[in-house]
Structure 1
Amino acid sequence: MFIAADTAINPDIVTPGVVGFAATLLVAIVTVFLVWDMVRRIRRQRYRAEIEAKLDAEQAAASKK
């Protein structure tokens, strides 16, 4: 019943190894790329909103004259 308690744990078996390191590195690289892309898209959208607001203000000022 307590066979696992009697056996010693081999660290070579329970470590993730090269495959685990590669998978973690891949996830980190993909995460950095996604965050970078999201920041770029948000910045682009913010600039478009600023330009649209500026054009709307100019149109409103021109229509009042």
Structure 2
Amino acid sequence: MREYDLSTARWRKSSYSDQNGGSCVEVSDDFPGVVPVRDSKAGDGGPVIGVSASAWSAFIGAVKNARFTDA
């Protein structure tokens, strides 16, 4: 598995994140082919998962099309 140097990553919060500092997901667009994702509450020391850009795109498309619901 490839490792990425995330020390210079520019993170952005999801537009759906709670503006009071909770429920925040951050992603970085700085790495071609992979989207690093982290919990903003954990900050720089927290875990990061890497999702392929194509899988992330499919996930975002599914969210926008309301394919995820409370069941």
TM-score band w.r.t. shorter chain: under 0.3
Of the two structures, which has the highest relative contact order with CA contacts closer than 8 Å and spacing of 6 or more? Answer: 2
Normalised by the size of structure 2, how large is the TM-score? 0.24
Question: If you compute each CA radius of gyration, which structure gives the higher value, 1 or 2?
Answer: 1
> Which one has a larger percent helix, Structure 1 or Structure 2?
1
